A and B are shown apart, each in its own frame.
Chain A
Amino acid sequence: MIPSAWLKRLLLVAGLAVLAAMPALVGEYPLNLIITMIIYSLFALSYNVLFGQAGLLSFGHAAYFGVGAYTSILLFKKLGLSLLPGILGAGLAGGILGVILGLFVVRLGGTYFALLTLAFNALIYAGAEKWRGLTGGEDGVAAMRPDLYIPFLGDVEMFSTVHWYYFVLIVVLLCTWFCWHFTRTPLGRLNECLRENEDRARFIGYNVYLSKVAVNVISAFFAGLAGGMAGAFQEFVTVTFINLDKATDVLIMTFVGGSGTFWGPILGACFLTYLNQILSDLTEHWTLIQGIIFVLLVMYAPQGLSGLLISLKDRFWSARAQKLSPAAKGEG
């Protein structure tokens, strides 16, 4: 039923090769779109650590993303840090916020988590809006993307889109690798156990509360990292990085892609970013279409696009009972 392991590996290598060759294949403008897709893939991936794996429905993931974005820009601007420390600082800021908010939001599960994450996101948003001295309020704050310092090699300038593309790609691939590995660690497995049966995990003797905080921190770290790169990409951060729309965007991306598979959120982030790009040129009601897609999936395909693709693949597989064309796997 499943393609053999070497076929999977072949697909992975082919995919990486295409990603590596991307700047030679497409022009400047599509490359910018692809960078956006990659950054949002990481954001959605971090979101799914909570939503898909731990079963925690968050309406406040923009808090970590936005704080990461502000942190990287401010580190570039006020401290003159180079690229990598600035981005790592963004991840750390997200992680620290993940500890603080995590202590509050995971105390009560289920619906409370959704309520509280939304309320705390609103609080952080209000903070960003009011603390004008630091964040510039609604005007935002701007800083140039600094060079990347590599030991023994010196500075690599990041003004070029191609350089920047490779930087983002490598960071996100490393994070993806880590997130994938995380699902196989004891904490990652416990995470899924919490989703399936929290009481049982408690009876076995796990500290459910602290595990949830830890998972929240990991998720927040990667969201902060994604935010830091999004800020550095735009070289400008404003309150739109941290508002409720940003928080619901990542929820929609993850759900549309499918929270049940590891690569679903990546698929969702790429699909919706791309659709957003082509449809917002054609119609101003793009967000309505996005909402309708979302509701239809909630009602008829709760496993999202990746779930649809898998069931499609299974159908082809059983119908033909022979070699499967890789077409059903999509570009995810």
Chain B
Amino acid sequence: MDTLAALPVQALHGLVYGMLLFLVASGLTLIFGMMGVLNFAHGALYMMGAYFSWSILQWTGHFWLSLLVAPLVVALAGVIIERFFLRKVHSYGHAHELLLTFGMAYIIEELVKIFWGNEPLLVVLPSLLAGSIPLLGTQYPVYRLFILGVSLVVFILMFFVLYKTRAGIIVRAAVANKRMVGALGFNVPLVFLVLFGMGAWLAGLAGVIGGPYLITNPAMASTIIIDLFVVVVVGGLGSIQGALIASLLIGQLQSIGILILPQFAIFFEFLLMALVLIFRPHGLLGESK
């Protein structure tokens, strides 16, 4: 009976995490779709968002300022990684690009430990977001609703840009066939640079809002990267709708799983991944190339 009563609340938890996961995964999957680069450093960029925002909060005391500035700094870091590192190894092939981003992730994680230490950091939330409100028969933390709100707004904006603007059309076309887009006269490397920066911005934003919720600590990059990879496999490489479905599914599997079989909750997403691999090897919405 208790289990049943807790179900809606857990489902809401799952939705919050699923949407957060999607913010990070969307950039990863678009970057992959366009250039075939699996950006291992994507989790590290997300972590940078959380840490930068913590520091900005320490210096200025303004949470809203950190929400605005930290993702921009992460986007800049992403642009630097793409322009000065990733592009240099592009001619060596995808395996090399993957190794490079892995190395960057490794270095970022070590730098975070050096600058901010190994201990988890506590983020003091503004009073507007700190409390909880009655919802679904329980007291629900306002902050989680805030995460949901922000990720929904970004999600709607992103789909609007991708599907209703010229820039979005170019990006989607480049994901489908970058050679053709290049042949039509677009500067594909520039499009990719901007896309990489946008992906980093999204990851950084997810880090800023996710840090207080999932605890800002040096392991947060390697924790989320596993979920991200499962999202990409389940959704299908390069498919943004697939990433959305997979993120929401994994959010639910984790939160409902903990409610029903706490010991085995962690295995559900892997089970989902194995099933998808057996029956739809290219992911739910992925195309076989």
Q: How far is the CB of A302 from chain B (nearest CB, A)?
A: 6
Chain B: interface secondary structure?
A: helix
Taking CB atoms, residues of chain B closer than 8 Å to A84 are none
Q: Are B99 and A123 in contact (CB under 8 A)?
A: no
Please indicate the chain A residues that have their CB under 8 angstroms from the CB of B158 in the complex.
none
Task: Name A279-332 residues within 8 Å CB distance of B.
Answer: 285, 287-288, 290-292, 294-295, 298-299, 302
Contact residues in B for A295 (Cβ distance below 8 Å): 85, 100, 103-104, 107
Q: A110 to B230, Cβ gap below 8 A?
A: no
Tell me whether B107 and A255 are in contact (CB under 8 A).
no
How far, in Å, is B271 (CB) from chain A's closest CB?
Answer: 9
Question: Known contacts being A111-B36, A126-B267, is A298 close to B233, with CB within 8 Å?
Answer: no
Partner of B99, one of A57, A115, A119: A57
Produce 1/0 per residue, B93-113, CB < 8 A to A: 011101110111011001100
Residues of B with C-beta under 8 A to A299:
85, 88-89, 100
Is A130 an interface residue when CB atoms closer than 8 A count as contact?
A: yes
A111–B222 touching, CB < 8 Å: no
Interface size on A, residues (CB 8 A): 35
Pairwise interchain contact B106-A118, C-beta atoms closer than 8 A: no
Residues of B near A118 (CB, < 8 A) are: 225-226, 229
Q: Which residue of B lies closest to A131 (CB)?
A: B263
Also in contact, A122 and B99, with CB within 8 A (given A111-B237, A292-B107, A299-B89): no
Contact status A302-B92, CB under 8 Å: yes
Known: A108-B282, A130-B263, A248-B102. A119 touches B270 (CB 8 A): yes
**CB < 8 Å: which of B96, B233, B274, B282 contacts A115?**
B233
Q: Is the CB of B222 within 8 A of A244?
A: yes
Given A122-B226, A299-B85, A302-B92; A288-B111 close (CB under 8 Å): yes
B residues near A55, Cβ cutoff 8 Å? 95
- If A108-B282, A119-B273, A295-B100 are given as contacts, then 4 extra A-B residue pairs at C-beta distance below 8 Å, sorted by A number, are A112-B237, A130-B264, A290-B106, A295-B85
15 contacts between A and B (CB under 8 A): A108-B281, A110-B95, A111-B32, A111-B38, A111-B98, A112-B233, A118-B225, A119-B230, A119-B233, A248-B102, A287-B110, A288-B110, A294-B106, A295-B107, A302-B96
